Amino acid sequence: MKVSEIIGHCSGIERTIAEIYSSFAERWPQSPFGPLWRDLANEELGHGNLLDSAARLPAAQREEASVDAAKLEAIRAQVVSRLPKRETTIEQALDIALDLEELELDNIYRRLLALTTDDSRMSSTFRTALGQYSHHEERLLAAIEAHAKDPLLLQRAAEARQRLIRRGAATSAR
């Protein structure tokens, strides 16, 4: 599979995630959730646009065997399965968003970043996407910590917070 095809799949996934966040923004337009969902949706659309641009770069034409179509399809199916239903509550929406931010897309972007270090524009694209994952997760965790009542969601958020802290410590140690 060509890098451009991998990137195209990822772009589609990012846009589907943006649709989910947009539907949450329509459902809960008031602060504090409306602005959060709108910002996340816009950033996911931005990721899709960045990826589309990266897919047109010469470095995207090389073959890459470390990411297969089945893996990308599994991630896409996982995202589609999280499309909200009419009865979705705000806490379920926060849980869905946490699921979406914990997808393996960041692992794919890390792999693609490692493969494209010889192309500064492509590397910049993947660095931007990776940097925003932590930003998204931080914003979601803050919203959950401030507004959630569900003990399971709060526990999950606490575990995600610990992973984020460990990841930050690992990044700053490099």
The model's pTM: 0.87
How many whole angstroms from its chain centre is CA 103?
A: 7
Task: Indicate if the pLDDT at residue 171 is higher than 70.
Answer: no
Cα–Cα distance for residue pair 113/152, rounded to 1 Å = 34
Give percent above pLDDT 70 in the chain.
Answer: 96
- Domains: count for the chain: 1
What does the pLDDT read at residue 96? 95
What's the rounded Cα separation, in Å, for the pair 149 and 116? 43
- The pLDDT, as a whole number, for residue 173 is 45
Mean pLDDT of the 127-147 span:
85
**Mean pLDDT to the nearest integer, 93-109:** 85
| Whole-number Cα distances in Å, 27 to 16, 39, 99, 103, 140 | 17, 15, 19, 23, 17
CATH code where residue 119 lies? 1.20.1260
**pLDDT value at 159 more than 50:** yes
Provide the domain limits for residue 54. Answer: 3-173
pLDDT at 169: 52
pLDDT band with cut points at 50, 70 and 90 for residue 116: confident
The per-residue pLDDT for range 19-58, each reduced to its tens digit, is 999 999 999 999 999 999 999 999 999 989 988 988 998 8
Compute the 3-state secondary structure of the chain and give helix, strand, coil in percent, each to the nearest 5: 80, 0, 20
Average pLDDT for residues 162-167, to the nearest whole number? 83
Mean pLDDT of all residues in 101-109: 78
